[in-house]
């Protein structure tokens, strides 16, 4: 029972982390319909930006973490403007854009490896506090992941519902042609979405840095989980991303009870497969966001 309680806590912590990943990826995918695999290296880049701020500028953690979303939003926006947008403007098929996205992932990961080397980089002098709550222990990072997820989800919902850019994002995600017809600058909205979605991914990137350290390929598994979470939840739906994140986190963690550890990473894909068989449109699609 104690093992179960601990696995549940771990699952919820990971679920918050996965939901953050899904939120950023789903915002980009749901709005622009670009399968942005290069989300992975941008995520890694954000972790390195925080690491450098701590290592070379000697900044304390609470200031250094701000470099993550800042670096990711610039990186994500640059990837859209310099790579995806020229392809879109030439009317290339979504297959070409997908291949571009995969190619870009490899190139950017190689660039990060050239720049930082393949070793694990950890933030100087950081150790997460651990709290013991009855039979289980909870890390400060698990709590922080959950709180930031909730804050960001509420903030993003309000931003989408109440600001001009937010409404433009909802419109573009609904129907690109109609968005142009009502006079929305779809390129600019896409740019904002890439900046915003990447900044959200960076929040997860910072947690990975603090949990296990940064490597150039650290974005590989997260981008796949982000994809699964966004598809399971229903593309571009905020409640969907949260539900999808917790589902993957809980299934993965509670699965460890019965399933050997080696299979942990496969569990997300089994879940994706099952959901797509039962509900191909995702769990939350069609819901008002």
Partner 1 sequence: MSALLSISGLVAGYGKKTVVNGVDLDVHAGEIVTVLGHNGAGKTTLLRTVFGLIKARAGTVRFDGRAITGRLPSDNIADGVALVPQGHGIFRTLSVLQNLELGGFAITDRRIMAERIDLVFGLFPILKERQAQIGGTLSGGQQQMLAIGMALMSAPRLLILDEPSIGLAPVLVERVMDSIREINRSYGTTILLVEQNLKHGLAVAGRAVVLNRGLKVFDGAPAELADQGKLLSLF
Cβ at position 228, least distance to partner 1 in Å: 23
Cβ at position 169, least distance to partner 1 in Å: 11
Cβ at position 179, least distance to partner 1 in Å: 8
**Residue placing its CB nearer to partner 1 in the complex, 95 or 288:** 288
Cβ at position 174, least distance to partner 1 in Å: 4
Which residue from 124, 178, 279, 281 is in contact with partner 1, where contact means CB under 8 A?
178
Tokens 């997908």 -> residue: 98
- Kindly state whether residue 167 participates in binding partner 1, applying the rule CB under 8 A: yes
Cβ at position 126, least distance to partner 1 in Å: 43
Over the chain, what HEC string results? CHHHHHHHHHHHHHHHHHHHHHHHHHHHHHHHCCCCCCHHHHHHHHHHHHHHHHHCCCCCHHHHCCHHHHHHHHHHHHHHHHHHHHHHHCCCCHHHHHHHHHHHHHHHHHHHHHHHCCCCECCCCCCCCEEEECCEEEEHHHHHHHHHHHHHHHHHHHHHHHCHHHHHHHHHHHCHHHHHHCCCCHHHHHHHHHHHHHHHHHHHHHHHHHHHCECCCCCHHHHHHHHHHHHHHCCCCHHHHHHHHHHHHHHHHHHCCCCCHHHHHHHHHHHHHHHHHHCCCCCCCCCCC
- Kindly state whether residue 89 participates in binding partner 1, applying the rule CB under 8 A: no
- Kindly state whether residue 72 participates in binding partner 1, applying the rule CB under 8 A: no
Residues 179-208 touching partner 1, rule: CB under 8 A, are 180-185
Q: Which stretch binds partner 1 (CB under 8 A): 50-58, 115-123, 176-184, 217-225?
A: 176-184
- Kindly state whether residue 175 participates in binding partner 1, applying the rule CB under 8 A: yes
- Kindly state whether residue 90 participates in binding partner 1, applying the rule CB under 8 A: no
Would you tell me how many other CB atoms lie within 10 Å of the CB of residue 256?
16
**Residue placing its CB nearer to partner 1 in the complex, 188 or 279:** 188
Would you tell me how many other CB atoms lie within 10 Å of the CB of residue 95?
8
Q: Which stretch binds partner 1 (CB under 8 A): 110-118, 143-151, 161-169, 257-265?
A: 161-169
**Residue placing its CB nearer to partner 1 in the complex, 158 or 180:** 180
**Residue placing its CB nearer to partner 1 in the complex, 38 or 171:** 171
Interface size with partner 1, residues (CB under 8 A):
19
Which residue from 57, 106, 130, 174 is in contact with partner 1, where contact means CB under 8 A?
174
Q: Return phi, psi of residue 242, to 5°.
A: -65, -50
Binding site for partner 1 (CB under 8 A): 164, 167-168, 170-171, 173-175, 177-178, 180-185, 286, 288-289
């Amino acid at each position: 029972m104690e093992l179960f309680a601990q696995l549940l806590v771990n699952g919820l912590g990971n679920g918050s982390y996965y939901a953050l990943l899904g939120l950023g990826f789903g915002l980009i995918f749901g709005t622009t319909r670009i399968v942005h695999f290069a989300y992975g290296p941008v995520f890694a880049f954000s972790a390195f930006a925080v690491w450098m701020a701590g290592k070379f500028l000697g900044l304390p953690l609470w200031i250094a973490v701000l470099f993550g979303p800042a670096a990711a939003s610039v990186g994500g926006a640059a990837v859209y403007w310099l790579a995806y947008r020229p392809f879109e403007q030439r009317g290339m098929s979504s297959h070409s854009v997908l291949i571009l996205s995969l190619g870009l992932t490899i190139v950017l990961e190689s660039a990060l490896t050239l720049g930082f080397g393949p070793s694990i980089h950890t933030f100087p002098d950081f150790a997460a506090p651990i709290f013991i709550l009855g039979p289980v222990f909870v890390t400060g990072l698990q709590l922080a992941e959950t709180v930031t997820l909730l804050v960001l989800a509420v903030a993003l919902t309000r931003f989408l519902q109440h600001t001009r850019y937010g409404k433009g994002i909802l419109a573009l995600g609904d129907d690109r042609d109609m968005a142009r017809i009502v006079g929305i600058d779809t390129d600019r909205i896409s740019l904002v979405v890439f900046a915003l979605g990447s900044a959200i991914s960076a929040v997860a990137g910072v947690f990975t840095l603090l949990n296990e350290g940064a490597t150039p390929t650290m974005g590989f598994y997260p981008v796949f989980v982000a994809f699964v979470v966004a598809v399971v939840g229903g593309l571009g739906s905020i409640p969907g991303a949260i539900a999808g994140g917790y589902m993957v986190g809980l299934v993965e963690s509670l699965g460890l009870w019965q399933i050997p550890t080696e299979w942990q990473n496969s569990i997300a894909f089994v879940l994706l497969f099952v959901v797509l068989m039962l509900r191909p449109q995702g769990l939350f699609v069609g819901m008002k966001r």
